[in-house]
Amino acid sequence: MAGSLTSKEYDPKELIPEFVKIYGGNAADIKIYSSPARINIIGEHIDYNGGKVFPAAINRYLYVAIRKRNDSKIVYNDVRFPGTFEFDINDDFKFDKKNDYANYLNGILSQLKAKGCLFPCGFEILMVSNVPAGGGISSSSALECGFAFAVSETFGFNLSRVEIAKLGQMSEHNFMGVNCGIMDQFIIATGKKNYAEKLDCATLEYEYAPLELGDYRFVVMNTNKVRKLSDSKYNERRSQCETVLATLQKNGVKINALCELSPAKWEEVKGFVSDEILLKRAKHCVYENQRVLDAVSALKNGDLVSLGKLLNASHKSLKEDYEVTGIELDTLAETAQKQEGCLGSRMTGAGFGGCAIALVHKDKIDSFIENVQKTYSGVIGYEAGFFACETGDGVSEYKL
């Protein structure tokens, strides 16, 4: 197997000696927190349209080791990246391109300070991640929420999991300039092993659904095409949806979000929208929301075949109507859909690169990967990464 997703996993226990090597001092005062990646089973690009989504936290984690300092300094190190970032807790944190990953952390600190959280001293951290960056399984939310949780626990802010999720989203909006929805941060903060989560993004009500897949597993397939949400058409898609909503409201349709429309209601009111592109964007949202409801019932009834068909339909809609896939994701998902033992496949996350998922019979995983890899590298010219995932827990303290 090839690609960044299948490289050797880092053992978080190694963080402690590494931490002492960098910072010296007492190992007993160091704590480690873990933060998972996520897959979204179905419900794409509708969290910011008041839709329902169905993600799960998975067993790939980012780890944050942290210890308070005696002065007001903040020091960041990451095992994977050379160089140290140093700030002061009294700084007025602002986004700065040269601060690279430290922007995500400073973004969280800026939001904590805006909330009135007081820091009596600084702290030092060492991080490592087994979640590939820019890979579509939410490496950035894992970083934001893992760091927010570590800081909240260390300084006794006792933020709830929902507050952690909101803090991550606010940091993306106010600091990173990405108008993301709440799905990624929410599942990373509240996810639970063995469960997927049905989240209503309009109300933030959520329920856990046992992820019982029998002989099937979700295989994550990484295009290895890295992209940043801030460079992608993500914000543009969001504003296109807002334009449709405003047009419908102006014409007397009484809704607060696009996903309040059932498919039947959408067919009744879509005449108010004349732009072909906007019609396609909105159609995706309304029908994708319905697919989430159908997927949750299919899973409840143990009907994995129907679940697979819904995954395929979701991909087609994201390709043709929402237009956020591209040749890499299409090659992966469409090749996967043709393989023996695969019930369905779709892109997951924002798209434009990143990852796809496939529901594959456990005895067919090896041949599945081999075949999809062969086609993918033939068409794209470099290899994809693959791994079969299990569910995982939301942000937690990692006990040594």
Give the pair of three-digit tokens for residue 381: 């010219």
Using CB under 6 A, list all residues that contact ligand GLA.
40, 44-45, 47-48, 180-181, 183-184, 349-350
Query: To the nearest 10°, the Cα dihedral for 74, 136, 373, 381?
Result: -80
Q: How far is the CB of 180 from ligand GLA (least distance, A)?
A: 4
3-state secondary structure of 383: coil
- Please report, as a single letter, which amino acid is at residue 13: K
Query: Could you tell me if 221 and 377 are in contact, meaning their C-beta atoms sit under 8 angstroms apart?
Result: no
76: Cα separation from own chain's centroid: 23
Helices in 196-326 by DSSP H: which ranges?
234-250, 263-269, 276-300, 304-320
Angstrom CA distances, 77 to 10, 21, 31, 156, 160, stand at: 15, 12, 15, 23, 26
Report angle CA 84, 90, 93 to the nearest 5 degrees. Answer: 65
* Euclidean distance between CA atoms 312 and 19, whole angstroms: 45
Main-chain dihedrals φ then ψ at residue 196, nearest 5 degrees: -100, 175
How many CA atoms within 13 Å lie on the side-chain side of 317?
25
Query: Could you tell me if 64 and 75 are in contact, meaning their C-beta atoms sit under 8 angstroms apart?
Result: no
Q: How far is the CB of 44 from ligand GLA (least distance, A)?
A: 4
User: Which residues form the catalytic set?
Assistant: 184
Query: Could you tell me if 12 and 128 are in contact, meaning their C-beta atoms sit under 8 angstroms apart?
Result: yes
Spatial CB neighbours of 253, under 8 Å, sequence gap ≥ 6: 261, 269, 272
